[in-house]
Chain A
């Protein structure tokens, strides 16, 4: 009962948020809608009793990625809302040309097919069962990260180190050539 309620509310939060992101004409607003979608996804993780993943979702996306996006939008100007076409309707700048739209549409189609294939299997293979009893996932994730998945872990830390050094290099005050 409670799990169903949690699932339905987080799922609808995710879908409504995602739709609002796509449909919003203002990038800044779209970013705040993205916030709701991401919170909804973290709620979905909670219903799957992946507590650590849910909190990570909040820390990484809400605290980091969304603020980063807001900064990026702000620094690149966002949209000025002044472009109006000859009928007086607000013009939304197209985000690509015919080629990119065709490519994107094709890849979305392929992705949808793949996902449908996976979901079909899941529905066929496993009969509806009771959820496994709740247990915390923190220890297991920690163990797996430094045993089985240590390569991915290390590679991502090297990537982050590279990003950090790059940022420091760019932000560094340049010596004036005299």
Chain B
């Protein structure tokens, strides 16, 4: 097996082995390869659909929270509390006339939204929902996320270019330059976390943290707190969220790179954006906030199986679901902060955007990287809390 993944998680369980034996006997060949394919397919199907739902709920949350911040009601007609508003929107999007501008570049117009979708959904393969239920814990997971998510930039740029409209063009150019620029501080901040975690695998990085806040990388040392802030700002810019939503600035560019897109094509862009916000919030949670770690090691077999005395198989499942709960809670809280920021801060100007990136964030991120490396060298990679506790214990006379 190449890496830990959802298949290796299931293949340890007795039902899987029994099924594999039965099928192999029935069909007269080794069916483990076929079962691997089926499990991957089902897992990918479930994750993609759930994430599409999350994207839809994201649009609902955006409206509801913005309404809350502006003392309005927000959507409240479709379903309880207007919860089904996104479904109504989906139906509307499908029913809408699909307009392709006459002077647009048809081929690029067709593939631009798809590139955005593919780039975002490809990152779901390594998003660490839990230790078992992740599609795959790639050895280069963090690097892979950086790689495939850059497809989104290509999609946004082509969307702006292919529309053959000045507003879209400006939006697309802003989007591409912004995404490329902010990749630098974001990557530098991530590298600092990779140094601390000791690997590019999300499982390694999350495993190096603990369930309680003082064991998270964000509070590991003073540099990582700054690193988190830089990462978060860069992340807002990479997903084109306010205050960095220049590519779709309504007051200047009509609607930016997706002005000319209608119906499902527009829905693809919107969905890609909301899912991408969830993905980057998830990456932030995994890198800085302990990811799927649950306080007191509640999700571990040691507690559930040995101490509480649950049978092996249910204990494993409950542990996984607790981990998913921990991960999703942290991610959704970050998602809330992202929306909150959008409805609080005014938009930056283009030159301010570039100044912030190249004159402030990039040097700070570089300084942080060196700082974290020096910290690891000086204190053997121990967190500041450990050092404080140790000094305290030594002062209290414990040797």
Contacts and interface: CB of A to CB of B under 8 A. Distances in A.
Interface of A: 1-2, 26, 28-29, 32, 35, 51-52, 54-59, 62-64, 66-67, 70-71, 74, 134, 136, 138
Interface string B140-164: 1001101110110110011001000
Contacts of B4: none
22 contacts: A2-B33, A26-B105, A28-B161, A29-B107, A32-B111, A52-B140, A54-B140, A58-B144, A58-B148, A59-B146, A62-B150, A63-B150, A63-B183, A64-B150, A67-B154, A67-B157, A67-B180, A70-B154, A70-B158, A70-B176, A71-B173, A138-B199
Given A66-B154, A67-B154, A51 B140 contact: yes
B182 to A, nearest CB: 12
Given A32-B108, A55-B147, A58-B150, A70 B200 contact: no
A70 B183 CA distance: 18
- A-B pairs with the 6 shortest C-beta distances? A63-B150, A58-B147, A136-B139, A55-B143, A59-B147, A55-B140
Interface in B19-72: 33
Contacts of A55: 140, 143-144, 146-147
B2 interface: yes
Interface centre among A32, A35, A59, A64 (most CB of B within 10 A): A59
Given A58-B150, A74-B161, A138-B139, 12 more contacts: A28-B108, A28-B161, A32-B111, A52-B143, A59-B143, A59-B147, A62-B150, A62-B154, A70-B157, A70-B176, A71-B173, A138-B140
Contacts of A26: 105
Contact of A134 (B2, B148, B180): B2
Nearest to A24: B107
B197 to A, nearest CB: 13
Nearest to A171: B354
A63 B147 contact: yes
B218 interface: no
A56 B105 CA distance: 30
Task: Provide the main secondary structure of the chain B interface.
Answer: helix
B138 interface: yes
Given A29-B107, A32-B158, A70-B157, A64 B180 contact: yes
Task: Provide the main secondary structure of the chain A interface.
Answer: helix
Nearest to B36: A2
Nearest to A68: B180
B250 to A, nearest CB: 24
B258 to A, nearest CB: 17
B337 to A, nearest CB: 26
A55 B123 CA distance: 12
Interface in B77-114: 105, 107-108, 111
Interface residues of B, number: 27
Interface centre among B2, B111, B146 (most CB of A within 10 A): B2
Contacts of B2: 134
Contacts of A56: 143, 147
Interface centre among A2, A55, A57, A74 (most CB of B within 10 A): A55
A70 to B, nearest CB: 6
Contacts of B146: 55, 59, 63
Given A51-B139, A51-B140, A59-B143, A67 B148 contact: no
Contacts of A28: 105, 108, 161
Nearest to A75: B173
Nearest to B194: A138
Contacts of B139: 51, 136, 138
A70 B161 contact: yes
B136 to A, nearest CB: 11
A52 B199 CA distance: 12
Nearest to B156: A67
Nearest to B107: A29
A62 B151 contact: yes
B204 to A, nearest CB: 11
Nearest to A78: B161
Given A32-B108, A136-B139, A67 B183 contact: no
A52 B141 CA distance: 10
Contacts of B33: 1-2
B117 to A, nearest CB: 15
A103 to B, nearest CB: 33
Contacts of B108: 28-29, 32
A72 B75 CA distance: 44
Contacts of A134: 2
Contacts of A57: 147
